[in-house]
Amino acid sequence: MRYHFVVNGYADDVLRQMEEQMGFAQKYLNGMEQGEAIIYCRSAEDVQRLERHHSKEAVLISAREYAPEAVLHGLCDRIADGGLYIFGNDDAGTELSVRMAARLSGSSITEAESLWLSEESAGDSELINKIHVMKMVYANHMEAAFVMEREPYCISLARGAASQELRMGSFVIKEEISCENMAEHIVSQEFYPEALAGGLDEAKVILAAGRGVKNKENMAVIDKTARGLKAEVAVSRPAAMNAWKPMNRLIGVSGAMVGPEVCITAGVSGAAAFYAGIEKSKFIVAINTDEKAPIMKMANVAIVDDFLPIMEELNNICK
């Protein structure tokens, strides 16, 4: 089996990502044959300008603008056999590694910290490779071991898992695949920088919405109330999984552990995995139609009602 680096040539910190890929390979892939680097990028000139490399040969998947769907198309077309594909640590690497594995019926693990190989008997003296990966889970509270069973194995790296200085010089570009016209369905795109300050960690007041909020339209009511209360909006897992809010708003063992002055929950049952995230709050208000929901016993104030009229009333008070 061979391993290949998949490089985000659009990223400002591409060299840092490549150093981590090289460090990871040196630490965990000793003895495994190295394949080519697959670099998605604007142009061959951009790649040559790096003046550093970590693989001899590279295949480029190029387009003026980064479009995940187009890169994925190029990647999946290119990959004829199995092997291990190592993506860098950024949002693109995380997304592409998972989507590539899903399309090619392989396996994926994001944010890998370490890796080792084992050979196991599949009967009739046949041996099959298995890849074991360690990664941090539940907001870095635990380390878990995963086994990947189907090729291609697609992993993205945890930040700082390992690092190794790159070699000076350029990649030998074997092939350039243009994917300029593969994302014609994208009419326009805008990028918003992620807010670095503020957020849930520093919030004094949090309004947390759960599955009981029911839909994205009702989340707009929560947003409005939060603005009036000068609160940060958070969600339970079902609400995050329904994409009512992004994952960085998730509270609980898999998300943020918060300790605001006041935490108001709306339509949250208070499962242990959620409650662990808010138990350090100084004052908890729970709004739930079910008086027997576990959160009602844990709250300082429990309101048995539909959350919508309560939000409306809070909006009136905050006017």
Ligand X SMILES: Cc1cc2nc3c(=O)[nH]c(=O)nc-3n(C[C@H](O)[C@H](O)[C@H](O)COP(=O)(O)OP(=O)(O)OC[C@H]3O[C@@H](n4cnc5c(N)ncnc54)[C@H](O)[C@@H]3O)c2cc1C
For ligand X, the binding residue among 226, 274, 285, 311 (CB under 6 A) is 274
Amino acid sitting at position 65: E
**Cβ nearer to ligand X, comparing 174 with 280:** 280
Report whether 136 contacts 158 (CB < 8 A): yes
What distances in angstroms separate CA 93 from CA 5, 14, 21, 150, one per listed residue?
Answer: 11, 11, 12, 19
236 binds ligand X (CB under 6 A): yes
Please tell me what DSSP assigns to residue 54.
S
| Strand 153-157 versus strand 107-112 pairing type | parallel
Count Cβ atoms below 10 Å from residue 29 Cβ, excluding itself. Answer: 18
Burial class (CB in 10 A: 0-12, 13-18, 19+), 47: buried
Interaction of residue 211 with ligand X, rule CB under 6 A: yes
95 binds ligand X (CB under 6 A): no
> Which residue lies nearer to ligand X by CB, 54 or 237?
237
Taking the complex as a whole, the smallest distance from the CB of residue 181 to ligand X amounts, in Å, to 41
Residues in the chain: 319
Site for ligand X in 240-269 (CB under 6 A): 250-255, 267-269
Residue 175, φ and ψ in degrees, nearest 5: -160, 145
Q: List 117's β-bridge partners, or say none.
A: 131
CB of 99 within 8 A of CB of 85?
no
Q: Determine, following the binding rule CB under 6 A, whether residue 279 of this chain makes contact with ligand X.
A: no
Name which position in 179, 222, 293, 299 contacts ligand X (CB under 6 A).
293
Among 23, 35, 210, 260, binds ligand X (CB under 6 A): 210
Q: Please report whether residue 54 would count as binding ligand X according to CB under 6 A.
A: no
Cβ proximity to ligand X, 35 vs 255, nearer residue: 255
Q: How far is the CB of 288 from ligand X (least distance, A)?
A: 4
Binding site for ligand X (CB under 6 A): 210-212, 236-239, 250-255, 267-269, 271, 273-274, 277, 287-290, 293, 306-307
